[in-house]
Amino acid sequence: MLRQVLLAASASQRIRRVITTAPLTRDVVARFVAGDSAADALAVVKRLAAGGMLVTLDFLGEDTKDPAQASAVADEYVALLGRLAAAGLTEGGRTEVSVKPTAVGLGLADLAGQAGPSGGSGGSSPQAGTADLGEKTAAENIARICTAARAAGTTVTLDMEDHTRVDATLRLVSELRSDFPDLGCVVQSYLRRSPGDCEALAAAGSRVRLCKGAYRAPDGVAFAARSEVDRSYARCMRTLLTGAGYPMIATHDPRLIAVAQSLVSSAGRKAGSYEYQMLYGIRPDEQQRLAASGEQVRVYVPYGSDWYGYLVRRLAERPANLTFFLRALRSRR
């Protein structure tokens, strides 16, 4: 129930205004978000890299409805990759970037439903044309980012958003991998379709991040119980770790990490053929423990001023995060 309340809050503009304008909030947000600027992000990357961590950087923002803004987000990523390369932080994929498709234009498809019928004769419907525009714009912007990543010696992973975006995102991955075969994607185990998606994606050369997921979805589309989500995660993880691709195991759950280590052993996975991923600010001691044991650990580091939706979904994922957040607010009053 708490998870559903928090996920509803992530979409509420009224609650967003209350939280983002609270004078004490930003001090707490700093635990989970690197800062507002690329300079802030680079400072965090350097610190994590010094501790033996890999990093993926996410410039916060989603559901962009303006083509110019979508292009500006891509520009930010291109400039970021240039700065990372100049600082010597991208060699061998040490630091890569994660991109939300709706931040770079996929959400333009939503304008079709808002615009309603328009005049003209013949050809495709306005809705279909706008949907095509969304995917076309996203594909062009992601290709620009991938080109910059290739020049920097690193990779790009496409984040997965809510369940209505899965098919379009997987189409983008399929289309762009012909030119950028190392383009990664994400599968969320809370969705009932995910075991099948993992089977399709567990191919040689693929890079797949497996996470639990932190969006709302109808019961027929998603598992409701945490135990069901965990079982789906274990099933997906087995498929990926026994497949021919490069699995990225994104979880903070000690039980699932133990299962992953068992599967790695039984599948004969060699070091460097998979990695663990965890969020910035969550279980840093476990991140260090895994890295010290010889595992590859990549930290997902977000930055930017549009942090509200990201933060609330992190609180929904793990009750301990909400406890920390509330305790930190009380301690600063």
**CA 248: distance to chain centroid?**
12
Say whether 171 is catalytic: no
Q: Which of 209, 216, 314, 318 is an active site residue?
A: 209
Q: Which residues contact 1 (CB under 8 A, 6 or more apart)?
A: none
With beta carbons less than 8 A apart as the criterion, state whether 60 and 310 touch: yes
With beta carbons less than 8 A apart as the criterion, state whether 180 and 156 touch: yes
DSSP E strand stretches across the chain: 54-59, 95-99, 156-158, 184-188, 207-211, 246-250, 275-279, 297-303
| Lookup result for tokens 């961590």 | 53
How many C-beta atoms surround the C-beta of residue 88 within 10 A?
A: 11
Query: CA 34 to CA 38: how far, in whole Å?
Result: 9
Q: Which of 58, 159, 182, 230 is an active site residue?
A: 159
Q: Which two tokens stand for residue 168?
A: 């379009």
Catalytic residues: 159, 209
